[in-house]
Structure 1
Amino acid sequence: MAYSGEPILAEDLLFRPAHSLIDQSLHSRLGETTTNGDGFGVGWYGEGSQPAVYKGIEPAWNDSNLREIAGQVRTSMLLSHVRSSTGTPVQRSNCHPFRHGRWLWVHNGALRGFHEIRRDLLLAVDPALFSDIEGSTDTEVLFYLALTFGLVDDPFDGVARAVGLVEEVGRANGVEHPVQMTVATTNGESLWVFRYSSEGRSRSLYFSTELSKLRELHPEVEVLHELGGETRFVVSEPLRDLEGAWNEVPESAAAVVGPAGAAMQPFTPISPV
């Protein structure tokens, strides 16, 4: 889940919705697995020069410290994630979101054949960035490849080149469909999202409808009047059943999400030179 808008308590984002991310960690409706208990993480922007990150290897529903801090943290940009491991160890350094400088990154999906192609992918990471990799998961490698290929200057191009490299390396090693991903990344000011898979059957991803339109549709829903007018959510699964509230990100698409909505564009991997 990603939130962008006026400052709000983290507990209102993580715990309050009917189908909150905490509920999804136990009862996912659209995910590959119903239970996502292999750790969790929350990243947010506050007073510091870098975003803060809180991660744990316990299931999100079972971490009392998460509820404690969520009631005290107020932020205008938050990314959160519940993990179901695709083969790498359950350890803090493998939990999302991943952070580098001002950037946060979360990913739902997998790089198939990662064990076989991991070395080739790591060798493509900029040597100046390599020592900052802390864990062993495919998501972190994809993040550092995007950084290598220019995420900071042009997120759309940086991610497209990173995915293009993964597909090229994967197919050279006999992996037919190397990439399965929905990704959200932010520098604290803007939020970019991506939905893509090599086989064209990507995991679910939604963005929220402009709040003023939702208030017109559902004047009886009290929580809509409590949120700021610039509120935007990006989620793997809708946080509550509310007609007209959620818009599916199309297959093979990317967007920058902000107060004016989601500026959508096609996403096509770029093969490395």
Structure 2
Amino acid sequence: MCRWAAYIGEPIFLEDIISRPDHSLIEQSKEAEECKTSTNGDGFGVAWYDTRPQPGLYRDVYPAWSDPNLRSVAHHIQSRLFLAHVRASTGSAISRNNCHPFTVGNWSFMHNGQAGGFEHFRKQADMCIPDELYQHRKGATDSEVLFLMALGEGLENDPQGALGRAVARLETLSRQRGSTPHMRLSAALSDGHRLFAARYSSDLIAPSVYYRWSDTHQGWAVVSEPLETDEDGWTELEPGTFLELNGDTVTLTDFSPES
């Protein structure tokens, strides 16, 4: 399983999420506390928004804790909205194209979880990607397929519905051709203006997600695990919930894909 963290608000340095906190994303890559595997060393990535509509993207295959370039980038770059991810592969190869986040146009997406038995229905899943989006299929992960399927389902106009429909289609394939757990998901995504997150599973084990407002940074953090172990104010996103952060507005809605 993977760990991820996202932020939206007044511009901050990436290191305020990625490397500076006691339980930062880099620390979680070495010793996560709320996932099946404590080490997440199969690559990392960060997508950040600045003055252009499309996000910047930096990904590599090294463990996040061992890459000095990541620390340097995080120390110097400020952003009002970014997604960062450390990877623990569930079967696909360790390659840059398999590292999250994934981006298409102004959208960015990252995921923790799995569609059970994906290796047995990868071809059928790929066929669910619309022809006009298939050029963006660079890697071999179920996460990238899910993102491209959601784009094809109308992510631009209906983020919650599009992601839900994509999750339902992928879960159906897992039930038909794959294995349990058919779907476990915590995901974060953004169009450059809003930040969304979802938590869902087909069983009773949904990957963890928390969110918190920071008066210091004047922004929201959404994370797999709290960034400070002794810090108050973290709210757990309940399983089966979709979160939207848009300025001062926080919207929580039901997320129950129909398989």
Taking structure 1 as the reference length, what is the TM-score of the superposition? Answer: 0.90
Asked if structure 1 preserves the Cα contact closer than 8 Å seen for 2:188 and 2:195, the reply is yes
* Paired letter, 1:150: G
1:181 aligned partner: 185
Residue correspondences, number: 255
Aligned partner of 1:247 in structure 2 is: 235
> Match of 2:76, SS?
coil
How far apart in 2 are the matches of 1:174 and 1:133? 21
Q: Does 1:232 align with 2:236?
A: no
Provide structure 1 residue ranges, at least 5 long, that are not aligned to the other structure: 213-223
Q: Which residue of 2 aligns with 1:170?
A: 174
Could you tell me which residue of structure 2 aligns to residue 17 of structure 1?
Answer: 21
- Is residue 167–residue 179 contact of structure 1 (8 Å, CA) maintained in 2? yes
Q: Is the contact made by 1:167 and 1:177 (CA closer than 8 Å) also made in structure 2?
A: no
Distance 1:105 1:84, change over 3 A: same
Q: Name which one, 1 or 2, has greater alpha-carbon Rg.
A: 1
Quick check: 1:7 aligned with 2:11? Answer: yes
Query: Are residues 1:97 and 2:85 paired?
Result: no
137, 145, 157: which one aligns with 1:133:
137
Write the distance in 1 (CA, Å) between the matches of 2:49 and 2:200.
27
- Letter of the structure 1 residue corresponding to residue 141 of structure 2: T
Amino acid at match of 2:80: S
1:112 aligns to 2:116 (yes or no): yes
Structure 1 pair 127/260, CA: closer, same or farther in 2 (3 Å)? Answer: same
Structure 1 SS opposite 2:146:
helix
Q: Which of 145, 165, 171 is the aligned partner of 1:161?
A: 165
Quickly say closer, same or farther: Cα 1:30–1:261, change in 2 above 3 A: farther
Alignment identity in percent?
Answer: 39
Give the drift of 1:96: 0.3
Greater mean deviation of Cα atoms: 75-84 or 165-174? 165-174
d(CA) in 2 for partners of 1:107, 1:200: 18
Gaps of 5+ in 2: none
User: How far apart in 1 are the matches of 2:124 and 2:249?
Assistant: 38
The answer to whether the aligner puts 1:206 opposite 2:194 as a matched pair is: no
Match of 1:269 in 2: 257
Measure, in 2, the Cα distance between the counterparts of 1:50 and 1:133: 18
Letter in 2 for 1:76: R
Give the 4+ runs in structure 1 shifted more than 4 A: none
Deviates more, 1:43-52 or 1:155-164: 43-52
